[in-house]
């Protein structure tokens, strides 16, 4: 059909020839492939704004770390390396299970799709549990700026780092470290909570039979979001936990 015929037909009937097509295909797309490509493009544009958003936090972290270096090192020493490592492992495995969920949607296997989605939800919740444990620990240690902060823990050295004896003014500056720590891990955790919630909705829809009839876009784009949140953590982990271990 050339453009003249199409124009004539559109003028005649008010819409383009309405042949058989899958129910999820919107009329302004030429086909499922194009619809999926467009959705992926849009999702990436959204993720780029997210990169800029988290990038700003990373940037201020780098600058303040140079500024109040001893405070940032001492602050980092107070985190549990095992908890950060465990959470990194959990998130990477959850990225794998999410990738498998996308694969199950593409190959149209309902049971596998539901299974991998449930696995991803469980791993996401496990990550949040470990994070909540760490936050609770920081609360107990009086490391929460603005709520219950005390520089006492950074004045006399700790069990693992006896040399962490900061002067009082620098010990106060660990609040900058913890402010950024809570801002970054908090925003990341918020993204995880949003992710788990969205995935639960998608799971209910998948349970009712959606996303295994060729309609992959919502699952695929959620996967992109989930992997992005994983990438943010891949950078948070070394910056917050690792790079100051031996300073």
Partner 1 sequence: MDQDQGQHHEHHLHLPHGPSEPTHHEEHVVSPRIYLVIGATLLVFTGLTVAASLVDLPGDLNAVVALAIACIKMTLVVLFFMHVKYSSGLTKLTVAAGFFTFIVLITMTMTDYISRAWGRW
136 binds partner 1 (CB under 8 A): no
- Token duo for residue 135: 């936050």
Q: Is 230 in the site for partner 1 (CB under 8 A)?
A: yes
CA distance 170 to 175: 10
Per-residue interface string for the shown chain with partner 1, residues 69-98, x marking contact by CB under 8 A: ------------x---x--xx--xx-xx-x
Q: Does 150 bind partner 1 (CB under 8 A)?
A: no
Could you write out the DSSP letters of every residue in 37-105? Answer: HHHHHHHHHHHHHHHHHHHHHHHHHHHHHHHTHHHHHHHHHTS-HHHHHHHHHHHHHHHHHHHHHHHHH
Q: Candidates 8, 10, 22, 37: give the one binding partner 1 (CB under 8 A).
A: 37
**Whether the Cβ atoms of residue 224 and residue 47 lie closer than 8 Å to each other:** yes
Give the interface size with partner 1 as a residue count (CB under 8 A): 61
Q: Does 186 participate in binding partner 1 (rule CB under 8 A)? A: no
Give the DSSP letter string of 162-229: TT----HHHHHTHHHHHHHHHHHHHHHHHHHHHHHHHHHHHHHHHHTTTTSSS--HHHHHHHHHHHHH
Binder among 11, 12, 33, 111 for partner 1 (CB under 8 A) = 33
Per CB under 8 A, does 12 bind partner 1? no
Report residue 142 as tokens: 């009086």
| Residues 94-133, mask of contacts with partner 1 (x by CB under 8 A) | -xx-xxx--x--xx--------------------------
Tokens of 200: 């639960």
Binding site for partner 1 (CB under 8 A): 1-3, 6, 16-17, 19, 29-31, 33-34, 36-37, 40-41, 44-45, 47-48, 51-52, 55, 58-59, 62-63, 66, 81, 85, 88-89, 92-93, 95-96, 98-100, 103, 106-107, 216, 220, 223-224, 227-228, 230-231, 234-235, 237-239, 241-243, 245-247
């Amino acid at each position: 059909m050339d453009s003249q015929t199409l124009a004539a037909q559109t003028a005649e009937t008010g819409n383009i020839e309405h042949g058989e097509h899958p129910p999820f295909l919107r009329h302004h797309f030429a086909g499922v492939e194009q619809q999926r490509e467009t959705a992926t493009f849009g999702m990436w544009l959204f993720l780029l704004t997210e990169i800029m958003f988290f990038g700003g936090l990373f940037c201020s972290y780098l600058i303040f770390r140079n500024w109040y270096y001893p405070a940032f090192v001492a602050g980092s020493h107070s985190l549990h390396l095992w908890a950060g490592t465990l959470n990194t492992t959990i998130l990477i495995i959850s990225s794998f299970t999410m990738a498998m969920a996308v694969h199950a949607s593409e190959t149209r296997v309902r049971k596998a799709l539901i299974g991998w989605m449930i696995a991803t939800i469980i791993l996401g919740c496990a990550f949040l549990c470990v994070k909540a444990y760490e936050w609770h620990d920081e609360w107990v240690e009086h490391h929460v700026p603005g709520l219950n902060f005390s520089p006492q823990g950074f004045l006399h050295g700790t069990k693992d780092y006896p040399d962490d004896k900061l002067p009082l003014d620098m010990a106060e500056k660990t609040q900058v470290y913890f402010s950024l720590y809570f801002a970054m891990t908090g925003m990341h955790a918020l993204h995880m909570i949003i992710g788990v919630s969205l995935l639960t909705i998608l799971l209910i829809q998948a349970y009712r039979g959606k996303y295994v009839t060729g309609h992959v876009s919502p699952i695929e784009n959620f996967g992109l979001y989930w992997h992005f949140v994983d990438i943010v953590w891949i950078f948070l982990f070394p910056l917050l936990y690792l790079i100051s271990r031996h300073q």
